[in-house]
Amino acid sequence: MHFFNPVHKMPLVEIIRGEKSSEAAVATTVSYAKAMGKNPIVVNDCPGFLVNRVLFPYFAGFNLLMRDGAEFEKVDKVMEGFGWPMGPAYLLDVVGLDTAHHAAEVMAQGFPERMGITYESAASVMYKHDRLGQKNNIGFYRYEKDRKGRPQKTPDPETYQLLKDKVEARKEFDKQDITLRMMLPFITETIRCLEDNIVATAQEADMAMVYGLGFPPFRGGPMRHVDEVGAAKVLALCEKYQHLGKLYEAPALLKKMADNNETFYQAV
């Protein structure tokens, strides 16, 4: 069973089916999760399971933007505008930069072609300077507790000083460019999880992203979002951004859907 942080608030629990898991074991675990008031989803095993396997390409998109000169506060603001409860820099601070660093290494070993580490990322720089996020009150942001003891973030100019020699000069990215560079790796990895039978259906994949990560509920999930935009248009966007690396390459399933004018939620 894989819970999500904060456990008392996040409704999703991933039930990971092992190679030798019996149907009785899976059914019992699903019932146990439901008795706890959680929404269980059964997935097959792989590095990161389902949700974290999709989350880390999203973080990789953020690190690439930082490498290319984006400002982390602006990226956070744009992604919050897209509907996320928090932007990627803030989320990394909440997760913990040490936890994220370890998980990124696991994902790089599991999926070296797409998630291999080829440069020192902004997140790695934070980790190497012991800026672990909220757990030690300094990450991309600096944190101070309010009257109720809750951590409140403030921008920290020193972040850019630490990154100065690792990234390009700071420059302006427009809102659409930021959104696409962040969301395309997230969407394509979700599609690959369907291709690899890590998750059985588009509906379950969408539920996992909404309940496990806070994907904007009004967008219905990444697969519903692809249907809204159109597979052919998403494919064209992948082709536009594929120069950024394998994370942006279109999965075979997306190409097939675009060719056949198909959707994940086929009309009855």
The structure tokens listed for 165 are 């020699």
Q: How far apart are CA 31 and CA 39, in angstroms?
A: 10
Considering the candidates 2, 101, 102, 129, report the single residue annotated as catalytic: 2
In contact, 111 and 47? CB cutoff 8 Å = yes
- Is 225 one of the catalytic residues? no
Is it true that the peptide bond before 11 is cis, omega within 30 degrees of 0? no
Q: What is the DSSP letter of 169?
A: P
In contact, 56 and 91? CB cutoff 8 Å = no
Considering only the C-alpha atoms of the chain, give the largest distance between any 2 of them, rounded to a whole number of Å.
Answer: 57
Q: How far apart are CA 92 and CA 32, in angstroms?
A: 30
**Active-site residues: which are they?**
2
